[in-house]
């Protein structure tokens, strides 16, 4: 993640420097949406969810809320959501909120019965929707086979700019000396992309799938006007992980340069990892309909797409440190350890995300039994708490220090003096999240190894048995469905 770029964008966004912005979309009566609203809280956001969760519906609705300046480029809901012999589309309400300059306005699109009704004076903005069809190989696209067989000459050629060609080279990890689009004497309306490398030029008929799709994408990106809205379905398609990361970083840069808003759909953890928490939106189907969850960790978002693990209950915690501490607490007694095989502990993000999942779980809106556990320095009526009244690191370090750092020198296999110095120096750092890494740097251990030993020793020396019992009872009740 490019933290400097993200912090710059965050500051500029909060200062209102995106004059055109789609802030919210609410959908009712369309493909399983029953009035859920999605808020966009960052200039580049990613929508994640399993197939059929509503990502494409959201993207298509977002494309329709603006009136493109050029009428022929406008997207209409009647095009995306077609009534068929099997599908009746009625009673639809799409509410949305947009920012235009200093003003925030609300609009509505409806389809009460047979006809769509759109605002007469709706907001105008240039919108670009790139759906999954963009990844179709050129030789499989209608009309291009004839060009491949019959073209005898070029009629026209347009180069990708040097700046965008260099960005394309960086994303794909190859040095392209030229990138261009040519029209042939067979069909002047259909362009063929060409990439030149050290050994020659290659057309899209023979490029790899990732090269083909990304070259087309960069042609669109180069022409994006300022303040436009860009929607990309399955942005990671045909790209390897490093290319996915570089593409997202490029989109962040482009968003800041041109003040464009970007909405992506994805199934990739690498895409999510390049975006801040406020830019991650999980669509989570449940027995009572769809839930919209913001700010989830990339690992948790991806785990919702995988059916490999089938625990009796899901336990949501803030981060890896909370997961390790909770596991050590339960494992520290033979009776309470019995609940561990029945649960899956998932770090999901900051306390507000844990609290949101706790609320959804209590309301029966998640597709599984669950319990949310916040750190001791937070409180929420829908969540259980870890022991203590401060962050887990602060509690564990302070309690072990008070006990004289019991058994740790032996556990780590280094001298007590050196270890004590490393531990107490780390506690001088204001950010407690860095303590384990600082200790690990001094004693040549990973931060995870440091925390596992400290948490284990804290459970042996400092843990109140009643706290352990209460946690185990709550988790057992969740697994039992109580």
pLDDT in tens, 144-153: 555 555 555 5
Same domain for 472 and 442: no
Q: Is residue 232 part of a domain?
A: yes
Same domain for 107 and 30: yes
The predicted pLDDT at position 220 comes to 87
Q: How many domains does the chain have?
A: 4
* 321 within 8 A of 386, measured Cβ to Cβ: no
d(CA 371, CA 478): 6
- pLDDT for residue 134 is more than 60: no
The predicted pLDDT at position 305 comes to 52
Same domain for 399 and 268: no
Same domain for 143 and 204: yes
- pLDDT for residue 256 is more than 60: yes
Same domain for 216 and 73: no
Q: Which of 220, 245, 267 is the last residue of a domain?
A: 220
Q: Is residue 304 part of a domain?
A: no
> How much is the average pLDDT of 98-125?
89
pLDDT in tens, 441-481: 999 999 999 999 999 999 999 999 999 999 999 999 888 87
Helical spans, DSSP H, in 18-161:
55-64, 77-80, 144-150
For 41, the domain range is: 3-126+226-280
- pLDDT for residue 162 is more than 60: yes
Q: Tell which wins on pLDDT, 139 or 65.
A: 65
Q: Is residue 295 part of a domain?
A: no
- pLDDT for residue 321 is more than 80: yes
Q: Is residue 46 part of a domain?
A: yes
What whole-number percentage of the chain has pLDDT above 90? 45
The predicted pLDDT at position 240 comes to 85
Lowest mean pLDDT among 24-33, 207-216, 360-369, 408-417: 207-216
What pTM does this model have?
A: 0.76
- pLDDT for residue 95 is more than 90: yes
> How much is the average pLDDT of 293-301?
82
Distances (CA, A) of 421 to 401, 405, 416: 11, 11, 8
- As given in the structure block, the two tokens for residue 300 are 């948790």
The predicted pLDDT at position 62 comes to 93
Same domain for 404 and 260: no
Lowest mean pLDDT among 149-158, 357-366, 410-419: 149-158
d(CA 216, CA 232): 12
> How much is the average pLDDT of 179-183?
81
- pLDDT for residue 211 is more than 90: no
Q: Is residue 300 part of a domain?
A: no
> How much is the average pLDDT of 279-296?
86
Q: Tell which wins on pLDDT, 280 or 286.
A: 280
Q: Tell which wins on pLDDT, 322 or 160.
A: 322
Q: Is residue 22 part of a domain?
A: yes
What whole-number percentage of the chain has pLDDT above 70? 91
> How much is the average pLDDT of 135-157?
54
* 121 within 8 A of 57, measured Cβ to Cβ: no
Same domain for 80 and 10: yes
Same domain for 149 and 237: no
- pLDDT for residue 96 is more than 90: yes
CATH number at 349 reads: 3.40.50
Same domain for 146 and 114: no
Q: Is 267 helix (H, G, I), strand (E, B) or coil?
A: coil
| Half-sphere exposure (Cβ direction) of 455: Cα atoms closer than 13 Å | 25
Q: Is residue 299 part of a domain?
A: no
**Quick one: pLDDT band at residue 201, thresholds 50, 70, 90?**
confident
- Kind plus residue range of the DSSP H or E element containing 474: helix 465-480
The predicted pLDDT at position 229 comes to 94
Same domain for 240 and 162: no
**Quick one: pLDDT band at residue 138, thresholds 50, 70, 90?**
very low
> How much is the average pLDDT of 32-38?
89
- pLDDT for residue 130 is more than 80: yes
Q: Tell which wins on pLDDT, 146 or 214.
A: 214
d(CA 175, CA 189): 29
Q: Is 172 helix (H, G, I), strand (E, B) or coil?
A: helix
Sign of CA dihedral 318, 321, 325, 326: positive
- pLDDT for residue 194 is more than 90: no
Q: Is 470 helix (H, G, I), strand (E, B) or coil?
A: helix
Q: Is residue 291 part of a domain?
A: no
Residue 145 CB coordination number (10 Å):
13
> How much is the average pLDDT of 235-259?
90
- What residues does 163 pair with on adjacent strands? none
Same domain for 207 and 65: no
CA neighbor of 307 nearest in space, from 50, 56, 46, 48:
50
The predicted pLDDT at position 417 comes to 87
Same domain for 367 and 258: no
């Amino acid at each position: 993640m490019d933290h400097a770029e993200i912090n710059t964008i965050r500051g500029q966004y909060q200062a209102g420097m995106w004059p055109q912005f789609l802030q919210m979309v609410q959908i009712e009566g369309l493909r399983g949406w029953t009035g859920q609203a999605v808020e966009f809280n960052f200039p580049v956001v990613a929508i994640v969810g399993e197939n059929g969760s509503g990502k494409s519906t959201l993207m298509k609705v977002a494309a329709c809320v603006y009136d493109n300046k050029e009428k022929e480029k406008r997207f209409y809901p009647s095009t995306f959501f077609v009534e068929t012999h099997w599908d009746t589309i009625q009673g639809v309400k799409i509410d949305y909120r947009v920012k235009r300059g200093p003003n925030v306005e609300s609009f509505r699109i409806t389809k009460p019965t047979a006809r769509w009704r759109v605002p007469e004076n709706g907001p105008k903005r240039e919108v670009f929707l790139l759906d999954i069809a963009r990844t179709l190989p050129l030789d499989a696209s209608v009309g291009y086979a004839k060009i491949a067989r019959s073209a005898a000459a070029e009629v026209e050629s347009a180069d990708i700019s040097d700046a965008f060609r260099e960005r394309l080279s960086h994303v794909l990890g190859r040095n392209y000396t030229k990138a261009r689009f040519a029209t042939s004497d067979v069909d002047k309306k259909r362009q063929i992309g060409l990439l030149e490398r050290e050994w020659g030029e290659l057309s899209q008929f023979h490029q790899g799938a990732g090269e083909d799709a990304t070259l087309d994408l960069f042609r669109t990106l180069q022409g994006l006007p300022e303040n436009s809205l860009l929607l990309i379905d399955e942005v990671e398609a045909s790209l390897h992980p490093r290319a996915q990361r570089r593409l997202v970083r490029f989109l962040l840069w482009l968003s800041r340069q041109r003040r464009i808003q970007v909405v992506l759909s994805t199934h990739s953890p690498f895409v999510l990892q390049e975006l801040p928490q406020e830019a991650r939106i999980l669509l989570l189907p449940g027995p009572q309909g769809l839930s919209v969850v913001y700010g989830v960790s990339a690992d948790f978002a991806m785990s919702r797409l995988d059916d490999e693990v089938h625990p009796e209950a899901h336990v949501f915690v803030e981060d890896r440190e909370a997961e390790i501490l909770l596991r050590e607490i339960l494992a520290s007694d033979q009776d309470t350890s019995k609940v561990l095989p029945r649960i899956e502990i998932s770090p999901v993000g900051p306390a507000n995300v844990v609290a949101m999942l706790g609320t959804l779980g209590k309301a029966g809106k998640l597709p599984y039994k669950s319990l949310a556990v916040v750190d001791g320095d937070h409180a929420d009526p829908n969540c259980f708490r870890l022991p203590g009244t401060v962050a887990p690191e602060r509690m564990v370090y302070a309690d072990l220090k008070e006990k004289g750092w019991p058994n740790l020198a032996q556990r780590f296999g280094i001298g007590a003096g050196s270890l004590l110095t490393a531990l107490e120096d780390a506690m001088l750092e204001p950010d407690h999240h860095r303590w384990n890494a600082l200790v690990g740097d001094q004693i040549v251990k990973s931060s995870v190894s440091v925390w596992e030993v400290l948490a284990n020793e804290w459970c042996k020396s400092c843990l109140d048995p009643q706290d352990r019992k209460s946690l185990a009872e709550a988790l057992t009740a969740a697994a039992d469905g109580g």
